[in-house]
Structure 1
Amino acid sequence: MGLQDSLLPGLRHVTKQLAQLLLLVLLLWILFSLVVFTYFTDSQVNQPHKITPFNSESEHSTYVQHSSRAIMASHNSHWRLYADRKGPFQHRQVFQPPRAREEFYFRNFGERHPRARKYLRKPPRSGYSDDYFSNDWSVVRGLWKGQVSSKMLNHRLQRALRDHVHSNKHNVLYKGQRKANKSVEEMLCQMKRQAQLRTLDGSEQPFAHLGFKQLASSKLQKMYTTCAVVTSAGAILNSSLGREIDSHDAVLRFNAAPYKGYGKDVGSKTTIRIMNSQILANPKHNFSSSLLYKDITLVAWDPAPYNIDLHKWYQQPDYDLFTPYINHRKNFPEQPFYILHPSFIWKLWDIVQSNTMENIQPNPPSSGFIGIVMMMNFCEEVHVYEYIPSMRQSNLCHYHEKYYDAACTFGAYHPLLYEKLLIKRMSTASEKDLKKKGKVTLPGFSKINCPL
């Protein structure tokens, strides 16, 4: 018994130490597990979302197209419900674009572009590859030369293009011819013949029955000598183009792009403002009260089915532009306000597709392209700023927003790349204007002479 009594304290001490050691190991294991769990959770959160077809513009585009139609045109999963509204026949829900990603970055354009601006960049989040921002300048240089292909886009934008072609939400069925090597004269004459401006005049059903003829403004036909089309591209910042832009007889602006505070770069004159239907439907734009939309000519558009089913379009527009249009015409009957006819929108798409052998996104053209062609209808000469990127090119979507995405320049929802290629091929601007000002110059339809 004496020996056992003498060993017991030692055993108790050893047992206590083992218990403490096991407890310490257990705590370390729990801590390690938490660290691993947190790491993989964060990695999943930061993974880029699968690109899925957009259900509206992004000009976005917004996304995008704008958009954009609010762009980013291929990230449908980010959109959040923010308000309900009633369309002409149904109760529908309106969605707002994804929150802007604060992805600032350095972009040194290298020795070939010594005057180009350097942009701040935060390193890509975990899960984003360098390809997310790659290839931009090779595409820009391709546009300058009038030689560009979707294969030059980064993998993300190529995947977005394929997804939109596959989804074909507007049931586009193109049966026309394709020719990628038309002369400038052929392209301009095709544009003049097929892209005559058409607005909703209330003569067709269901609009005739609903009294739209009494609401419609008189025909949009005023002629101007020189016109400026001012895109909302971020590259227009620090351009000092404001005075040149304001020197034109008429100035076209897009969606909710402001000019106050940006006059040095974008000018202050506004003659016409073209808007996608989100501007009218989304309360945050204050369409009925904002001074942006006063004392100028307004033009709105919304994507309809490719087969131009006006009944279906009226019942199920992408965003309800009809109710705000009716209210605005009643409250401000003297202000010119037009809705573009869907046939005009889709004829422009047909023109773009007919000038490339590649399958373009079967979604409506961007507001930018629509606005350029619209101005060619009633201007003798059209000067377009930063539609084709200049030396200031960046991934900043709009000069008035901190939102970065190459899709805003090269397209995801909208066939922007192909639109810009077509505009570049028709341009008469000098290489200096193109690179320094991001300016292309186009003749108006009245100045285009075509064979009978």
Structure 2
Amino acid sequence: MEKELSKSKIQFQGTINSKNLLHPSEITRHLSRIQQLKATTIIFNVASKPTKKKLLHNKQWNSGMVWNEDSTSNNLNRRLQNSKNNYASMNRYAVNFTGKRNLKKLSSKELLCELKQRVQVASIEFGDESFTAPDWQKYIPNKNLTQALGPFNTCAVVASAGSILRSRLGDEIDAHDAVLRFNGAPTIGFESDVGRRTTIRLVNSQVLFRPEFKFHDNTLYRTGTLLVWDPSPYSANLTEWIKHPDYNFFEYYKKYRQNNPDQLFYIINPKMEWQLWDIVQENTAENIQRNPPSSGMMGILLMMTICNQTDVYEFIPSRRKTDLCHYYERFQDQACTMGAYHPLMFEKNLVKRINQGSDEEIYMQGKVTLPGFRTFQCP
């Protein structure tokens, strides 16, 4: 989500940077605007799937709302509708989508098989195109991503959403075999809600590139395995990408590896993000933002690859839903939940459709349960 809002600030004045990098007067102006937009439509609807009807009789929560997997941009406020449409038409990454929309709504199993068979979760390896110079051999880990990580039985993906505050989910999260966190999300001071353990941290390239993140100095990044991603143009090969990355993070990656040679640190192959984007678009009736998926969505796919079961916390918001962007900041913007730069709302629709848990778990805990790809067979 940091990526989403940072990009939006640069390209659209209506969307705000989630890292509070604007001048204080700009922040005040934007927050005033947000207060004027409070009467916005929220896209929660009571679930009505036959398999979950029995849960609706639970008086403790049947008046609550859960994410509607058929949500459309009509449910967004005008500011976010405009932002979504602008990004769909801007086409910064030269997206040339040639896939076909699924006129028939795919089942959960069919969607899972699409993700399993078509999204290649892979890291850059020495010897890949443009990664053949001897110095790259010193920095890229010898084992590839899926060889080095897992297999794990149970995994937790912890979204950085403000709605995880006061959840008391920390012990449950830490009970998993592996825990994934994003960007600069801390644990110290928030242990009761987000847990203490970090097995994997997925960061976007601007975290390495921009000095305000203090990537090389902050000990937060020293724990667990690191992964970094950066968007390439839609049809670009690795040579084109390494010459024109979104953020020129490669030298910062090398510097970090040189200073921390014993910590595993991988670069995600950018083909993954667009393979995933294609599936989201194919299963959405309208045109989505022609920008890469969020860190959250890519982290979910990573854990489904290396874990037998993945519990995702507050990617789909719970009863604690709030416009607070991150649990560790005091910044509010509905774009953090609904999406502006990333096609976040449509990603949540897809995740809701493949959820193996109950609507009650979403409402009460913000928890979605997903199967590992190795646990099921596809035709």
TM-score class, shorter: 0.7 to 0.9
Quote the Cα distance in structure 2 between the aligned partners of 1:301 and 1:252: 15
Q: Is the 8 A contact 2:43 2:67 kept in 1?
A: no
Q: Which residue number in structure 2 is paired with residue 271 of structure 1?
A: 199
User: Is 1:61 aligned to 2:16, yes or no?
Assistant: no
Say which SS state the counterpart of residue 145 (structure 2) adopts.
coil
Are 1:431 and 2:356 counterparts?
A: no
| Aligned: 1:287 with 2:220 | no
The superposition leaves residues 98-124 of structure 1 with CA deviations (integer Å, 9 ceiling, x where unpaired) of 358878xxxxxxxxxxxxxxxxxxx97
The answer as to 2:92 corresponding to 1:186 is: no
Check whether the contact 2:154–2:178 (CA below 8 A) recurs between aligned residues. yes
Alpha carbons of 1:343 and 1:124: their partners in 2 closer, same or farther (altered >3 Å)?
closer
CA distance in 1, matches of 2:274, 2:46: 26
Letter in 2 for 1:155: R
Q: Which residue of 1 aligns with 2:122?
A: 198
Deviation at 1:61, TM superposition (A): 3.0
1:160 to 68, 75, 83: 83
Query: Residues 78, 245 of structure 1: CA spacing in aligned structure 2 closer, same or farther, 3 A cutoff?
Result: closer
Q: Distance in 2 between matches of 1:205 and 1:96?
A: 37
Give the fraction of aligned pairs with identical amino acids, expressed as a percent: 41
Equivalences for residues 389-404 of structure 1 within 5 A: 389-404=317-332
- Alignment of 1:75 onto 2:3: no
Separation in 1, partners of 2:333, 2:249: 27
Does structure 2 conserve the Cα–Cα contact (< 8 Å) formed by 1:426 and 1:442?
yes
Corresponding residue for residue 136 of structure 1: 42
Which shows bigger deviation, 278-287 or 433-442? 278-287
In the alignment, residue 414 of structure 1 is paired with which amino acid? H
Which residue of 1 is the match for residue 160 of structure 2?
Answer: 232
Residues 247-281 of structure 1: CA deviation (Å, up to 9, x unaligned) = 00000000001110000100010000000011111
Task: State the match for 1:367 in structure 2.
Answer: 295
Aligned 8 A contact 1:144 1:424 in 2: yes
Deviation (angstroms), 1:128: 6.1
Alpha-carbon shift at residue 130 of structure 1 (Å):
4.3
Helix, strand or coil at the partner of 1:226: strand
Matching residue of 2:96: 173
Q: Which has the higher contact order (CA 8 A, sep 6+)?
A: 2
Gap regions ≥5 residues in structure 1: 1-58, 81-94, 104-122
Provide the residue aligned with 1:219 in structure 2. 144
Inter-partner Cα distance in structure 2 for 1:249 and 1:308: 36
**TM-score normalised by the chain length of structure 2:** 0.87
Indicate the residue corresponding to 2:58 in structure 1.
none
Bigger Cα Rg = 1
Contact map agreement 1:188 1:448 (CA 8 A) in 2: no
Q: Distance in 2 between matches of 1:259 and 1:158?
A: 34
- Structure 1 residues 443 and 128, CA, compared in 2 at 3 Å: closer, same or farther? closer
Partner secondary structure for residue 380 of structure 1? strand
- Is 1:196–1:377's contact at 8 Å kept on the other side of the alignment? no
The change in CA–CA distance for 1:73 and 1:415 in structure 2 (over 3 A counts) is farther
Deviation, structure 1 residue 79: 8.8
Aligned ranges 1:239-258 → 2 under 5 Å: 239-258=167-186
Change (3 A) 1:381 1:314: same
**Alpha-carbon deviation of 1:206?**
2.0
Alpha-carbon distance change, 346 to 278 in structure 1, aligned in 2, over 3 angstroms: same
The residue aligned with 1:111 is none
- For residues 412 and 401 of structure 1, the distance between their equivalents in structure 2, rounded to whole angstroms, comes to 19
Change (3 A) 1:99 1:387: farther
Amino acid at match of 1:176: G
Which whole-Å CA distance do the structure 1 matches of 2:31 and 2:258 have between them?
A: 50
Query: 1-side partners of 2:15 and 2:356: how far apart?
Result: 41
- CA distance in 1 between counterparts of 2:228 and 2:192 reads 27
Contact 2:126 2:136 in 1 (8 A): yes
Q: SS of the residue aligned with 2:275?
A: helix
Q: What letter corresponds to residue 61 of structure 1 in structure 2? A: K
Native 8 Å contact 1:78 1:97 kept in 2: no
Contact 1:245 1:267 in 2 (8 A): yes
> Gaps (5+ residues) in structure 2?
48-64
Aligned partner of 1:207: which letter?
Answer: F
Query: CA RMSD for the aligned pairs?
Result: 2.6
Q: Distance in 2 between matches of 1:341 and 1:317?
A: 12
Q: Which amino acid aligns with 2:262?
A: E
Structure 1 runs of 4+ with >6 Å offset: 77-80, 100-103, 139-142
**Change in CA separation of 1:404 and 1:418 when aligned onto 2, cut-off 3 Å:** same
Distance 1:236 1:211 in 2: 42
Residues 133 and 227 of structure 1, relative CA distance in 2, 3 Å threshold: farther
